Amino acid sequence: MLDIKFLRENQNIVKENIKKKFQDEKLELVDKVVLMDKQVRELKVKGDELRSLRKKKSDNIGLLYKDGKKEEAEKLKQEVVEINSQLTTMEKDESELNTKIREIMLKIPNIIDSSVPIGRDDSENVELERFGEPLVPDYEIPYHADILERFNGLDKEASGRTSGNGFYFLVGDIARLHSAMLAYARDFMISKGFTYCIPPFMIRSDVVTGVMSFKEMDAMMYKIEGEDLYLIGTSEHSMIGRFKDQIVKEASLPITLTSYSPCFRKEVGAHGIEERGVYRVHQFEKQEMVVLCKPEDSMTWYKKMYEFTVEFFRSLDVPVRTLECCSGDLADLKVKSCDVEAWSPRQKKYFEVGSCSTLGDAQARRLGIRTKGEDGTYFVHTLNNTVVASPRGLIAVIENNYQKDGSILVPKVLQPYMGGLEVITPNN
């Protein structure tokens, strides 16, 4: 959410930013906010004048009674009652206007960084850099669901009975490999100086609206019927919400956290849920990283964070590339974002396995997360990034370590988490 003062003084910048995000339907929101903001400020001025007048009249009432001028005192008392009535009406109008302003401000996108490429959607994202050689073996690599089934490692028929489409059972060595990746991701981030957390897996609506846009919420979140609770789509939601309405010590910045959670998503939209495989599902597990920092440090942390994900996947023998998200592909709260994509030797192309974003002070402003420095109190900047989300990460590992005989090499860094197992072999 933008600062109302910034919007008031920079209407053209805000409108140009909306155009860069190809959301022209929101242009009128800027004019609406400016008009209502003017009305609020006029009400404040009028209110201050009436309060000053009320005090003056109230002070005179006692003096008039003291001088025996009861009739004049009673007249002033009635005038004070009328002023109170006006103030009550004005304060109600001001409160209603402020509520409407906030509702609109939540829909106006954050100002994107000047380095963000302009484009309408993800087809116009820009490749930044590749890491590792994207090899294609001289033997066929089956579809990932077929590979997993050869190990008796995937049971979607049973999950269909228990839960419906979009869910899965992972079994045996495949389940171990999945868990090994998450355990390794935890320790990998701890080695980088991040503090490990396990957050709540449900959050209240005021936290949801603090960390994401309404459009994202409708497309992603599952609501608990009859309660003010939502299942999280990523642990970032809980982790940022942890600091709601807090003033964190400036000396404690940056706050660097890594969190594990299951994630729940409706996946409403054009992509849909994958019928056979586990690439796009309603439930998955993820190791996340979250940073709260000073504004001047956010871009430095942004680069560090996505480089950690690149390093993580390279340690698993998975080639990756980084992709700069264009303006039209950025969610409304994001200032800048990039995806980390893993190489698929089966498809002969890259696919998304992680996303890194800096949101400026948008989440902090919505949630009231501040710090106090020498120059006063200010909002912190927040960033988030995927270390690994599985089973997508699992797909990347099994495809890039799949052998001609159908076995899968266990990356060296995962072997300690697999009881020293170096190779897993199919059951059928």
What sign does the CA torsion over 303, 306, 312, 315 have? negative
pLDDT band at 272 (very low <50, low <70, confident <90, very high): low
Angle at 258 between CA 369 and CA 419, to 5 degrees: 165
Ramachandran class of 406: left when φ > 0, alpha when ψ lies in -120 to 50, beta otherwise: left
pTM: 0.91
- pLDDT at residue number 270: 53
- Classify domain 122-424 by CATH number: 3.30.930.10
Q: What is the mean pLDDT of residues 261-287?
A: 85
pLDDT for residue 235 is more than 80: yes
- pLDDT at residue number 19: 98
- pLDDT at residue number 74: 80
Q: In this structure, what token pair is assigned to residue 411?
A: 């990356």
Is pLDDT larger for residue 238 or for residue 220?
A: 238
Q: In this structure, what token pair is assigned to residue 244?
A: 């709601």
Domain boundaries, the chain: 4-105, 122-424
pLDDT band at 26 (very low <50, low <70, confident <90, very high): very high
- pLDDT at residue number 68: 79
32-81 confidence digits (pLDDT tens)? 999 999 999 999 999 999 999 988 888 787 787 778 788 888 888 888 88
- pLDDT at residue number 276: 83
What is the Cα–Cα distance from 263 to 211, expressed in whole angstroms?
Answer: 15
Q: Pick the closest to residue 296 from 246, 253, 355 (CA basis).
A: 253
What is the Cα–Cα distance from 211 to 199, expressed in whole angstroms?
Answer: 15
Look over the chain and give the mean of its residue pLDDT values, rounded to a whole number.
Answer: 94
Per-residue burial over 14-49, b = 16 or more CB atoms within 10 Å of its CB, e = otherwise: bbebbebbebeebeebbeebbebbeebeebeeebee
- pLDDT at residue number 342: 98
Q: What residue type is 80 in one-letter code?
A: V
Which CATH number does the domain 4-105 belong to among 1.10.10.10, 1.10.3430.10, 3.30.1540.20, 1.10.287.40?
Answer: 1.10.287.40
DSSP letters of 346-388? TTTEEEEEEEEEE-TTHHHHHHT-EEEETTEEEEPEEEEEEEE
Q: C-alpha 377: how far from its chain's center?
A: 24
Whether 33 contacts 4, CB under 8 Å: yes
CA dihedral 371, 111, 119, 287 (to 10 degrees): 20
